[in-house]
Structure formats: structure tokens, C-alpha cells
Amino acid sequence: MCAEKLLKFETTAVHGSKGFDPLTGAISFPIYQTATFKHGGLNESTGYDYSRLQNPTREEVENTVAKLEGAKFGAGFSTGVAAVTAVLSLFKPGDHILVSDDLYGGTFRLFRDIYGPYGIEHDFIDTADLNDVINNIKENTKAIFIETPSNPMMKVVDINGVVKLSKEKNLIVIVDNTFLTPYFQKPLNLGAHIVVHSGTKFLGGHNDTLAGFVVTNEEWINERIRFYEKSTGATLAPFDSWLILRGIKTLHIRMEKSQENAIKVAEFLKKHPKIKEVFYVGLPEHKGYEISKKQATGFGSMISFKVKNQEDVAKILKNVKVINFAESLGGVETLITYPQTQTHAEIPAEIKKRLGVTEDLLRLSIGIENISDLIEDLESALGC
């Protein structure tokens, strides 16, 4: 009997975990839009009982994301924040977690305002600096939570380096892989224990749904995550599961095209007389460029930049036409965001200043439009 061939990433993304619906043969996996499932008799089940516990459409997207990440287990949640919340449920009062200081404002809020009062201790540190990690590990430290590249300053964390430190102290390494996706980066292969995603972003890819995922190879972690999921009910709905499945089919194509555009936009911004500084991992002068080349196969499509004249921020946001001034990222449309009042509004001013999240900073999520249209749009907005 022939051994099952291990499929390449692109093929798995297109076909999904099962490849088709085994019940009907449907190539597009069906939306099982049902709350409950009929039992044949006492102690007889189809394997599905109630959609909060499991649903065939959600199961397919969970297994697909897990497969793409090289993981054994995956769990789907209603949002990325819900996925991070599930991970934090692994810890108890008195536990200490080291957290990337430069990260999504919603994650910052979870640590500081939701779990902090319940006794889960944390320190926001520069996880891109391994010495900073070493110096902040305490006796009660249980985990290290990192974003890489980080949001919005695009810091790159040496995942291998963090993993080596974690093994010495028996710490759990959690990586938010939203920006690069498993197409460009696989943290579990680098030794991380848990990967989280805002599936709303690149996995879905069309700015039309909300989703979150937790993937792991650790059975005990999966069991705890599953228990939390069924107990709190922040599960991914069938229709949203289907939208993510549909988005994943083109993930590799979108990631390549948006990265191709991002490199050109970064080069344009770098040379523009009104731009003070550009933060893009794919620029050779970026501090994390070499580390990124070692641990990832691409640089992604997220760019932050600072203008020389702060007054230009409002002009750019008002005058872009092709690029949309909107929160979020990872869709086919290019979006521009003002972290100061949007994604990072609730982060204290002193922390934002230390990180460089200042009033002259803008963030771009580059889409798949024609590159000439994007550059001309930026050029026009900057010149107005």
C-alpha cells in the first residue's frame, strides 16, 4: 500500500484538511448552519452533538489551520482576542508572564485590565532583546508571549533564542503569528508551544469576518483550550468558519502579491523627502532583517512610517483615495491606520513614547492592488 504523500503548503491551503465533504462530495466544504444534531438513540452520536462543542465546518477550518502550522491541534474562536483570552486561561493567580512591549493594543488591554486584576502578573518587555528577557524572568514566570513582527513598530523577535531560554526555565512560549501567517513563518517548528492568530486578518483576507485560532502540539494544552472553549462559548460560527476556509484557499497567492507590493511601497517611502523613517522587515537595514531571514520565508506586508512634519498625518489620512483609512489589516485592500488614536489608543502615553508609537507614526497594511495605483495615491496624498 502506497504511503500518503505529504502535500505542499499551497495544495493544503486550496484543498483544506479533508479535501472535500465526505458526506456529499462537495468541493466547497458545506456550511453546517445548525445549533444541534440528531441522535440515533441512547448513547448514539454522529460525533457532533451541539455546535458550541463542535461543528463540522468549524472542525474543518480548525484542522486546516493546524495542518498549515504543522500542528496536531487547532481551535477556532469568534475573534483573535477571544483566542488570546483562551490561552491566558491556562494560567492562575500568582503566575507571571513576560509579554512583548510592542504589541496589539487589544492584547495589552487583556493583560493589564482583564487578567491583571485577577492576579496574573505580567511585565511588558523588549522581547527582541534576549538580555531583557533573561533579566525579567522571575521564580513565578510561567510563559513568554511574543508578537513577531510586532505591532506597530515591526520588531523581530528571535524565536529560537526565546525558546532556548524557555527550556532552561521550563516556560511556555506563545507566539502571535498573525502578521506572517504559517505561509511565511511556523513558530511551532522553531520550538514554540502555542501559536495564536487573529484569523480576521490574513487568513480570512477579505475584511469580511472575525475569527481567532489557537494551535499547538501539546495535548494537555489542547484539552485545556477545548474545555475553556466549550465552557465560555466564544466559538467560531459555521458561516465565519466557511469564510476563513475560502480565504485560506488563496492565502499563499495573496501573501506573495501583498509582499511584492510592500517592498516597493517601502522603497518609495524611504526615498520620499517628507518621510522621516520607515519600519519594514524586508528592508536590509531593518534591525531584524537577518533574524527574519533565518526564521521566516518572507517579510510580510506590514509597514509603519513616520512623517517629518506631524501636520502631514491628517493630510495623508484625508487625501488617500485608493488606500482606505480604516482599522484592521491583512485584507486584499490596502489600509492605512493611525495607531496613536486607533489600535494603540489605550496604551499609556509613556509606553507609546518609549516604543516610538508617536503622533507622527502611520501604519500600512499593503493589499494586492496595482502597485502603480498605490504609489501614485501615496504620492498624491503626501503632496497635497
Among all residues, which ones are annotated catalytic?
52, 104, 176, 201
- Residue 207, number of CB atoms within 10 A of its CB: 18
CA atoms within 13 A on the CB side of 313: 20
- Point out which residues pair with 43 in neighbouring strands: none
Q: Give dist(CA 269, CA 353) in Å, integer.
A: 22
**Cis before residue 149, ω within 30 degrees of 0?**
yes
Which residue is listed with cell 448552519? Answer: 33
Burial of 362 (0-12, 13-18, 19+ CB in 10 A): buried
Q: Give dist(CA 329, CA 220) in Å, integer.
A: 32
Amino acid in position 333: E
Give CA 223 to chain center in angstroms: 22
Element (H, E) at 174: strand 172-176
Q: Give dist(CA 287, CA 292) in Å, integer.
A: 10
N-terminal to C-terminal alpha carbon distance within the chain: 68
Is 337 within 8 Å of 304 (Cβ atoms)? no
- Residue 357, number of CB atoms within 10 A of its CB: 22
Is 176 within 8 Å of 197 (Cβ atoms)? yes
E-strand spans in 186-228?
194-198, 212-216
**For residue 383, what are the contacts with CB-CB under 8 A and spacing of at least 6?**
none
Q: Which candidate, 206, 131, 141, 132, places its Cα nearest to that of 173? A: 141
- DSSP letter string over 27-55? SS------SB---SBTTB--S--BTTT--
Q: For 150-288, where are the alpha helices, taking DSSP H only? A: 159-169, 181-184, 219-232, 238-248, 251-271
